[in-house]
């Protein structure tokens, strides 16, 4: 490894190991703590929406509360399934 490559790797390691916050679009400061908090909030919101969707689905007039239907409901929410009838 040449001296130039070694200095570039050293610079990149220093750059990525620093704990300075990010400034997306220079609007706000996002550090690791706030990013973890935001991702937890989004994940919780998605789980609540899925639980509401499972609770709303009906099978033969009764409410389905089983979590086994979550993968099927996720694909329906994402419009990943073929919605046309045969």
pTM listed for this prediction: 0.43
State which of 5-9, 24-28, 61-65, 73-77 shows the largest mean pLDDT.
Answer: 5-9
Q: What does each C-alpha distance from 48 to 4, 54, 73 come to in angstroms?
A: 52, 10, 13
Whole-angstrom CA distances from 33 to 36, 38, 51, 60, 78 are: 5, 9, 27, 46, 30
**Residue boundaries of the structural domains of the chain:** 3-77
pLDDT tens-place string over residues 29-74: 888 788 889 999 999 999 999 888 887 765 545 555 566 666 666 6
Residue 85 pLDDT:
44
């Amino acid at each position: 490894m040449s001296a130039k490559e070694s200095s570039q790797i050293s610079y990149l390691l220093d750059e990525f190991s620093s704990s300075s916050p990010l400034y997306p679009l220079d609007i706000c400061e996002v550090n690791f703590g706030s990013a973890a908090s935001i991702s937890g909030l989004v994940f919780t919101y998605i789980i609540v929406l899925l639980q509401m969707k499972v609770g709303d689905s009906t099978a033969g007039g009764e409410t389905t509360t089983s979590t086994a239907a979550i993968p099927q409901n996720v694909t329906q929410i994402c419009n990943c399934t073929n919605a046309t009838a045969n």
